[in-house]
Chains A and B, each alone.
Chain A
Amino acid sequence: MTRRFSWFNATSLTLGFTFLYLPMLILIIYSFNASKLVTVWAGFSTKWYGELLHNEAFLDAAWVTLKVAVLSSTFATVLGTMAAYVMVRGGRFRGRTLFSGMIYAPLVMPEVITGLSLLLLFIAIGLDRGVVTIVLAHTTFSMCYVSVVVSSRLVTFDRSLEEAALDLGCSPFDAFKSVTLPIIAPAVISGWLLAFTLSLDDLVIASFTSGPSSTTLPIKIFSAVRLGVSPEINALSTIMIAIVAIGVITASLVSKQAIARRQNEEQKALKQ
């Protein structure tokens, strides 16, 4: 359905998108500034991206961030999928509503509180802060996002598919592995990508749980900015925006394409 935009729609769209993206756009533009002064435009240059490659501190932080993001999003996906499966399939057990509420609570919990409580926990059990603690912390808070994405898929999942697998001789685990998982895979993948991007740009929780040798990129940027914004930071931020954008767009494309392809093929089957 194509319809011409009314004036009202066009205006609100422009306003909304300006509000959302103008700051980022300025940041991206200035990352290509030749001048060392952030607010003075002196021609186009990519030299700051080159400089980044020689900045050991930034590269270390980037490596830590990537490690944390991959590990925590993987753990979060496993745990989140399991939680979603139990919540949707487990039937009505005592306290089910309480449990599902508790899984989703971290979505609205202030990050400062999550970070602080994790910090207290790590100190209490005597765990040295470093990559391990950040991974644990990120797993904790991104798990609930994964479980939201996966459970919304599981709700529309035809239960009889699992029963058919059991009927044909699968053990319950085999049924999950060879029937349920392949079918919900797009949701699981987009859950992983979501967890990955959440971990990538988290500052608050990471600053509570990181140690001296494990600074993540957002922490590095934040502390560098306090000493003054440099074009290098702009370049770094632009790269991060790009990675996060790719992550989010891929996540939504994966699930959308799966649906679109299926509808398309169903249409073809009907025409035959």
Chain B
Amino acid sequence: MFKHGDFMAHSSSTSTFAPWEDSEQKPLIQFKNVTKRFGSFTAIDNLNLDIFEQEFFALLGPSGCGKTTLMRMLAGFESATEGTILLDGQDMAPVPPNKRAVNMMFQSYALFPHLTVADNVAFGLKRSDMPKSEIEGRVDEMLRLVRLEKFATRKPHQISGGQRQRVALARSLAKAPKLLLLDEPLGALDKKLRQDTQFELMDIQEKTGTTFVIVTHDQEEAMTVASRVAVMDEGRLVQVDTPARIYENPNSVYVADFIGDVNIIEGNASNKGDGLVEINWAEGQPAIQGTATNAVQDGTRVTFAIRPEKVSITQERVSDKANCIEGKVLDIAYLGNISTYHVELPSGHVIKAQAANNRRLARRSFTWEDAVWLSFTDTAGIVLSDNAGG
């Protein structure tokens, strides 16, 4: 199903594909000061967002953050209370869902149970201005794309969940929309199938050149498929960036905490020049040396965030890294490929450190209650001031 090559192709293309950095590029979708209220509840709060052609754009956030509302506004099932949504420069407010060059793949797939797989795919085409003679060819083409040629005459309840998901995808792509919306498209699949399908989605997105907007609460999924990720919270965009930047340069504690695993340490900052910041975080502990991306005022309260895989764990003290703290092992989570160590510091903080298990039969070097040293460089973590991003 999934060939490793697909992934390589994708990752190499994303490194050059960055229309959001080019001020000449006209966005396909523009949200301009969009607010959506349901009664007294504000689902979307004065939101501005540009999405570009051929992007695979992910809306990520916990349930109730407004990501589904945002998508339903693009499809035309909800209208904005304030502000405008432009598709290709055209205001979408007066355009009903059936007249939009936008198609949606529903979370429940919403396949028509009384129609065969082929008729489901043909459903939208029959309601377009495509001549009858071409519809059959297009349906075949779509079924080939999702590798379901053999199931054309089956009804939706006669195929498996993964196959249904692909029918839904074929149906929503059949009309060659400018924009495809995917609402939690992989939520109903089991983990293995989900991973395979993610790569398939990326492959199809590249083949068809369609702009994809995907809604998901699964951060791993968003990171895997998307060219850019928008992290949402309470109707606002917290950060919009590439997966790598979201992970390595989160602009707030919220994003750092939402994407992946992170150690959070609060302390008082003092500038050391050249972007270097010292963070005093506990009595009797050496200050943490970190790098701030934004200027930090002396003495302000800051948060130091560092990913567990960037913290090394050793038996002896190391001298080649800017930070080295002693602690004792509290817990070990063995995950096969890696192990996560929960290390308790004398101050009471618990820091997670990860080590790859790259030797199969190595005797485990640390065990519970062992005294260990945690170390990391001055650029491994990120210094976040409380007002940043928020």
- Chain A residues at the B interface, C-beta cutoff of 8 Å: 158, 160-161, 163-171, 174, 179, 182-183, 262, 265-266, 268-270, 272
Known contacts being A158-B108, A265-B158, A266-B157, is A167 close to B114, with CB within 8 Å?
no
Chain A, residue nearest B159 (CB): A269
Cβ-defined contact, A269 with B175, below 8 A: no
Chain A, residue nearest B174 (CB): A168
Cβ-defined contact, A170 with B160, below 8 A: no
Chain B, residue nearest A171 (CB): B98
For chain B, the bracket of interface size reads 20 to 34
Q: Which A residues are in CB contact (< 8 Å) with B107? A: 160
Provide the bound-state CA to CA distance between A268 and B171, in Å.
24
Cβ-defined contact, B127 with A161, below 8 A: no
Restricting to B81-121, which residues have a CB under 8 Å from any CB of A?
A: 96-99, 102-104, 106-108, 110, 112-114
- Tell yes or no: B77 within 8 A of A by CB: yes
Q: Which B residues are in CB contact (< 8 Å) with A169? A: 98-99, 124, 127-128, 175
Restricting to B31-88, which residues have a CB under 8 Å from any CB of A?
A: 75-77
| A-B contact list, 6 entries, CB within 8 Å | A163-B106, A166-B76, A167-B98, A167-B124, A179-B112, A265-B155
Q: How many residue-residue contacts, CB under 8 A, span A and B?
A: 70
Please pick, from B76, B158, B175, the residue contacting A168 in the complex, using a CB distance under 8 A: B175
Q: Which A residues are in CB contact (< 8 Å) with B112? A: 161, 164-165, 179, 183
Q: Which B residues are in CB contact (< 8 Å) with A165? A: 112, 123
Q: Which B residues are in CB contact (< 8 Å) with A174? A: 127
Q: Which B residues are in CB contact (< 8 Å) with A158? A: 108, 110
Chain B, residue nearest A263 (CB): B157
Known contacts being A161-B112, A174-B127, A182-B114, is A167 close to B104, with CB within 8 Å?
yes
Provide the bound-state CA to CA distance between A163 and B110, in Å.
8
Q: Which A residues are in CB contact (< 8 Å) with B75? A: 163, 167
- Chain B residues at the A interface, C-beta cutoff of 8 Å: 75-77, 96-99, 102-104, 106-108, 110, 112-114, 123-124, 127-128, 155, 157-160, 171-172, 175
Q: Which B residues are in CB contact (< 8 Å) with A167? A: 75, 97-98, 102-104, 124, 172
Provide the bound-state CA to CA distance between A166 and B98, in Å.
5
| 18 new A-B contacts at CB < 8 Å, known A167-B124, A169-B124, A265-B158 | A163-B106, A164-B110, A164-B112, A165-B112, A165-B123, A166-B76, A167-B75, A167-B103, A168-B123, A168-B172, A168-B175, A170-B98, A170-B127, A265-B155, A266-B158, A269-B158, A269-B159, A269-B160
Known contacts being A158-B108, A160-B110, A183-B113, is A168 close to B157, with CB within 8 Å?
no
Between A163, A164, A272, the greatest number of chain B beta carbons within 10 A of the residue's beta carbon is seen for: A164
Provide the bound-state CA to CA distance between A166 and B113, in Å.
16
Provide the bound-state CA to CA distance between A265 and B116, in Å.
13
Chain B, residue nearest A167 (CB): B104
Chain A, residue nearest B96 (CB): A166
Cβ-defined contact, B108 with A265, below 8 A: no
Cβ-defined contact, B158 with A268, below 8 A: yes
Q: Which A residues are in CB contact (< 8 Å) with B159? A: 269
Q: Which A residues are in CB contact (< 8 Å) with B96? A: 166
Provide the bound-state CA to CA distance between A12 and B365, in Å.
74
Cβ-defined contact, B104 with A164, below 8 A: yes
Q: Which B residues are in CB contact (< 8 Å) with A270? A: 160
Q: Which B residues are in CB contact (< 8 Å) with A171? A: 98
Chain A, residue nearest B97 (CB): A166
Q: How far is the CB of A107 from chain B (nearest CB, A)?
A: 30
Chain B, residue nearest A267 (CB): B157
